[in-house]
Amino acid sequence: MQSRIAGFMMLLATATMTLIVPCAAQEDTLKIKTSQIENAEIIIGMEFIPSERDSMLDDLNYTLGLYEDLRDVSIDNSVSPALIFSPLPPGVRPTREQKPPVYSPIGEVKRPENLEDLAFYSVRELAELIRTRKVNSTELTGLCLNRLKKYDPQLHCVITLTEELAFKQSARADSEIAAGNYRGPLHGIPYGAKDLLAVKGYKTTWGAMPYKDQMLDYDATVIKKLEGAGAVLVAKLSMGALAWGDVWYADTTRNPWNTEKGSSGSSAGSASAVSAGLVPFAIGTETWGSIVSPSTVCGTTGLRPTYGRVSRAGAMALSWSMDKIGPICRSAEDCAIVFDAIRGPDGVDMSVIDAAFNYNYNIDLKNLRIGYLKEDFDNDTSFAESNAATLNELRQLGVELIEIKLPDLPIDPMQIILSAEAAAAFDELTRSNRDDLLVRQIKNAWPNSFRVSRFIPAVEYIQANRIRTMLIAQMAELMADIDVYVSPSWEGDNLLLTNLSGHPCVVLPSGFDEGGEPTSITFIGRLFDEATVLAVAKIYQDATDFHKKHPPLFK
């Protein structure tokens, strides 16, 4: 019996050696080895046992080959993933019953003796002057171009002037209006566009050195829609390189209230140019604060629409499930006018949902349930004085503020969704090492972020999106009892959370800090209900005059 057991043990040992030795020899020929798996475990926060690592080898090396095959395909930034994000919870569909927008009465607007005074007129006021032919589009366009040329050396907010196109569009507007063909409140109004929007015949640089000579032979949908509304494009405005911050390949865009400081970003030039009275309105984009932040710093009013409201066709992609396009203006009602022109499907961006925009300025705040993030207001020391004044003003307007709390979920960790999608959008830039051409090469900048994001496991990206689904459901429960809520613009989780959930917001000036620079407040609305949140913001602006204050150096 003992001899039989001994023989079996010897046979087992021999078989084990037969299995182990060839694997060891085979591993020498593989690119990925078990020791590298063990090291990688630290990066992904996992731990496997030796037999599990050994089992992974063949599949990991095979998958590496699949990556290499995929990388042989050239993928343009304009190609979106097959997966489409929707901010709508199950069973919810926005209304499609469209009513005419109801704007506040404008009254008589007179042409000023000095045309330069028009620099800080609102879109509403300029539209009335053009409609009544007291001012024509060509002279207003000339005014904007002259101011852009005069003040850009101080602000660095312009990448490209579109002068030839502008005068062509303004001449057409004047001709049409003279013939009685008035298209609406944007007809003949000059504007600027963030330079991630393609415009045929002009460079689209994305603010980044690797793309500074890039020419795209088409117009972005937003550009087309604004041209259809009769607006006049006068400039492509600066943006932080690849939509981060206010540093672009030529300089840093400046804050008109303090030109020693940057204008924040990434819609840096859009906010700076509107604030300084260089254009009546501009188009910006937001993924995580790129409208809210520069609007705060520059004292402008910005609308970040619901995700899926405005087509991003022809716009640089950074995060397909988070990018949003919206207007930066001088007032909430100006934002309503511009938004009405750019919203809606185009048949290209399949994430866009057809929904009505029934703006009516004449609402009763007492009929609305308006919440506020008390804990965030208590914690916000940066804008404490103006925050308190804003809440007091709303109460004086008859608002009974309701204390609310946002969903208790890990919001900050979900930023990996943006990081992973951005790294994919600029994968070729990273692999080609052309990311070395970007101006900012610090740790907290795109080149390093793109490289770090290569190590985000696909499983964690999916898990983050599953938590995002939970967030959408919990926000739906919260907003079922609230029409609008008020939040500090930067404090707490609200900014990232609502960019993930897709909710619309209006950011607007709320006062000035001790240094005389603007502060802001943010109103958040229900999904696809920009009409209500804009109307609430307008009532607040009608009761205050912060949006009518302008930087002294540019008057």
What's the confidence (pLDDT) of residue 21?
38
pLDDT tier for residue 28 given thresholds of 50, 70 and 90: confident
My answer on whether 295 and 395 are in the same domain is yes
The answer to whether residue 15 scores a pLDDT higher than 70 is: no
pLDDT tier for residue 250 given thresholds of 50, 70 and 90: very high
CB 220 within 8 A of CB 315: yes
H-run or E-run covering 44: helix 34-44
Reply yes or no on whether 290 is catalytic.
yes
What's the confidence (pLDDT) of residue 13?
39
β strands within 443-532, DSSP E: 484-488, 505-512, 518-525
My answer on whether 287 and 397 are in the same domain is yes
- Rounded to whole angstroms, the Cα distance separating 544 from 333 reads 14
Helix (H, G, I), strand (E, B) or coil at 370: strand
Which of 39, 71, 103 is at the close of a domain?
71
Query: Could you report the per-residue pLDDT of 142-152, keeping only the tens digit for each?
Result: 999 999 999 99
Residue 10 lies in a domain: no
Query: Could you report the per-residue pLDDT of 462-499, keeping only the tens digit for each?
Result: 999 999 999 999 999 999 999 999 999 999 999 999 99
Q: Domain residues for 229?
A: 115-349+366-409+454-554
Number of C-beta neighbours around residue 515 at 10 A: 8
Which of 8, 39, 71 is at the close of a domain?
71
Residue 434 lies in a domain: no
Our separate counts of H helices and E strands in the chain read: 18, 13
Residue 97 lies in a domain: no
Sign of the dihedral defined by the CA atoms of residues 139, 107, 298, 249, in that order: negative
Domain containing residue 405: CATH number: 3.90.1300.10
Residue 31 lies in a domain: yes
What's the confidence (pLDDT) of residue 444?
94
CB 273 within 8 A of CB 157: yes
My answer on whether 271 and 377 are in the same domain is yes
Which of 36, 71, 106 is at the close of a domain?
71
My answer on whether 153 and 252 are in the same domain is yes
H-run or E-run covering 255: strand 254-255
Query: Could you report the per-residue pLDDT of 297-315, keeping only the tens digit for each?
Result: 999 999 999 999 999 999 9
- Rounded to whole angstroms, the Cα distance separating 460 from 126 reads 50
Number of structural domains found in the chain: 2
Reply yes or no on whether 263 is catalytic.
yes
CB 484 within 8 A of CB 368: yes
My answer on whether 256 and 333 are in the same domain is yes
The answer to whether residue 334 scores a pLDDT higher than 90 is: yes
Which of 122, 137, 170, 194 is catalytic? The answer is 194
* Dihedral, 92, 94, 95, 99 alpha carbons, nearest 10: 160
Reply yes or no on whether 194 is catalytic.
yes
Residue 515 lies in a domain: yes
H-run or E-run covering 469: helix 458-479
My answer on whether 244 and 392 are in the same domain is yes
My answer on whether 50 and 184 are in the same domain is no
My answer on whether 273 and 332 are in the same domain is yes
- Rounded to whole angstroms, the Cα distance separating 273 from 276 reads 5
Q: Mean of the pLDDT values across residues 8-33? A: 52
Query: Could you report the per-residue pLDDT of 350-387, keeping only the tens digit for each?
Result: 999 999 999 999 999 999 999 999 999 999 999 999 99
CB 229 within 8 A of CB 186: yes
DSSP conformational letter for 282: E
Query: Could you report the per-residue pLDDT of 253-282, keeping only the tens digit for each?
Result: 999 999 999 999 999 999 999 999 999 999
My answer on whether 67 and 119 are in the same domain is no
My answer on whether 126 and 232 are in the same domain is yes
Q: Mean of the pLDDT values across residues 383-404? A: 98
Distances (CA, A) of 519 to 78, 301, 392, 469, 544: 36, 11, 16, 33, 13
Which of 263, 266, 293, 319 is catalytic? The answer is 263
Query: Could you report the per-residue pLDDT of 150-190, keeping only the tens digit for each?
Result: 999 999 999 999 999 999 999 999 999 999 999 999 999 99
The answer to whether residue 123 scores a pLDDT higher than 80 is: yes
DSSP conformational letter for 188: T
b/e sequence 432-469, b meaning 16+ C-beta within 10 Å? eebbebbbbeeeebbbebbeebeebeeebbeebbebbe
My answer on whether 310 and 199 are in the same domain is yes
Residue 41 lies in a domain: yes
Query: What tokens does 523 get?
Result: 């109103």
Residue 448 lies in a domain: no
What's the confidence (pLDDT) of residue 26?
63
Residue 319 lies in a domain: yes
My answer on whether 42 and 166 are in the same domain is no
Distances (CA, A) of 62 to 66, 74, 458: 7, 21, 17
Which of 270, 290, 293, 311 is catalytic? The answer is 290
